[in-house]
């Protein structure tokens, strides 16, 4: 594999960063996970906007290079990939080993890709089965501590939530975290939707990273005439749901088989949204 590192294509084994890079030292970096379908990055404009917003939150908005989309295209072409996972990382770069960052930023910019299956209406899912989900004790870091809409390398919150899965006898695919008040927030790497009384529900912004796939699903639901509500929900409401699914860029829309051992599964609304999502991918990328 070839990766793009600071403006150049490099062999995988040589695509390394300095030990004084702040992304390595402190998680002082922004990233986006994207999917390429048919050689085109799906909803790239939204990913780029969020990447710039996160860099702005970190005080380094100008760190995102103007030719980032060209670097992605070059990386896909060099690896002869049209269907791919694409991750873009922008760190503050190499600086002296002290907590306070320098105002001058020479960012480290990395484009990483790996092959995925074809998507869209003629494709298949990257997952084999609906997700087994477990509610964990780890709480979502509140917005007052770390801005929830910033997608940074500091993923310790999600890592701790995933580590908790080792305590369970059932093999689980995702951890479901609550906020400090005990209301459902999000998965370690996903947003949650559930259906109750024919209405599609999802936790409101404020305690979650509002995913790009999440926003896309909300738009599709409006177009399909599916009633939607956002709010704060106790875990039991999700367990009592008639349908539930998780969303992220790689999984797209993945039904929840069980939450804490309670069977839920997908259903009519989930299937309609999956079909609409696939059709959108077709229109945008194939």
* pLDDT value, residue 168: 83
Answer yes or no: are the C-beta atoms of 54 and 179 closer than 8 Å.
Answer: no
CATH of the domain at 16: 3.30.470.10
49 lies in the same domain as 182: no
Task: Name the β-bridge partners of 243.
Answer: 195
Position 120 in a domain: no
* pLDDT value, residue 97: 85
Position 153 in a domain: yes
Q: How many domains does the chain have?
A: 2
77 lies in the same domain as 146: no
* pLDDT value, residue 224: 98
* pLDDT value, residue 245: 98
144 lies in the same domain as 39: no
Answer yes or no: are the C-beta atoms of 234 and 61 closer than 8 Å.
Answer: no
CATH of the domain at 205: 3.20.10.10
**Structure-block tokens of residue 197:** 């009384």
- Among 80, 115, 150, the domain-final residue is 115
Position 107 in a domain: yes
pTM: 0.96
Position 122 in a domain: no
Tell me which residue of 270, 128, 123 sits closest to 192, measured CA to CA. 270
82 lies in the same domain as 135: no
141 lies in the same domain as 281: yes
94 lies in the same domain as 145: no
pLDDT < 70 regions, the chain:
none
Position 124 in a domain: no
Domain extent at residue 99: 2-115
Q: How far apart are CA 64 and CA 165, in angstroms?
A: 35
Write down the residue that tokens 């060209």 correspond to.
Answer: 70
Q: Are strands 29-37 and 8-11 parallel, antiparallel or unpaired?
A: unpaired
* pLDDT value, residue 169: 76
Position 20 in a domain: yes
Position 54 in a domain: yes
Distances (CA, A) of 9 to 2, 27, 85, 89, 230: 6, 24, 17, 15, 43
* pLDDT value, residue 167: 87
Position 46 in a domain: yes
136 lies in the same domain as 55: no
Q: How far apart are CA 92 and CA 108, in angstroms?
A: 7
pLDDT digits (tens, 9 = 90+) for 67-122: 999 999 999 999 999 999 999 999 999 998 899 999 999 999 999 999 999 999 99
274 lies in the same domain as 144: yes
Distances (CA, A) of 228 to 81, 136, 162, 219, 242: 37, 26, 29, 10, 15
92 lies in the same domain as 190: no
């Amino acid at each position: 594999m070839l990766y793009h590192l600071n403006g150049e294509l490099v062999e995988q084994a040589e695509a390394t960063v300095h030990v004084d890079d702040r992304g390595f030292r402190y998680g002082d970096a922004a990233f986006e996970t994207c999917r390429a379908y048919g050689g085109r990055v799906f909803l790239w404009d939204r990913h780029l906007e969020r990447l710039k917003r996160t860099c702005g939150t970190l005080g380094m908005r100008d760190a995102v290079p103007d030719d980032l989309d060209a670097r992605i295209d070059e990386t896909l072409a060099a690896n002869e990939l049209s269907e791919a996972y694409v991750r873009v990382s922008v760190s503050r770069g190499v600086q002296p080993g002290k907590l306070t960052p320098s105002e001058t930023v020479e960012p480290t910019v990395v484009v990483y890709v790996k092959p995925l299956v074809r998507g869209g209406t003629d494709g298949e899912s990257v997952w084999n089965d609906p997700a087994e989900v477990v509610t964990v004790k780890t709480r979502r870091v509140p917005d007052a501590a770390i801005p929830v809409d910033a997608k940074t390398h500091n993923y310790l919150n999600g890592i701790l939530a995933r580590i908790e899965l080792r305590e369970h006898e059932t093999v689980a695919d995702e951890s479901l975290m609550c906020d400090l008040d005990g209301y459902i927030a999000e998965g370690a790497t996903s947003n949650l939707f559930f259906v109750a009384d024919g209405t599609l529900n999802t936790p409101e912004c404020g305690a979650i990273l509002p995913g790009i796939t999440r926003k896309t699903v909300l738009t599709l639901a409006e177009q399909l005439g599916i009633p939607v509500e956002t709010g704060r929900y106790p875990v039991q409401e999700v367990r009592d749901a008639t349908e539930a699914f998780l969303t992220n860029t790689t999984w797209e829309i993945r039904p929840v088989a069980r939450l804490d051992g309670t069977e839920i599964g997908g259903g009519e609304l989930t299937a309609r949204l999956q079909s609409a999502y696939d059709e959108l991918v077709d229109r945008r990328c194939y």
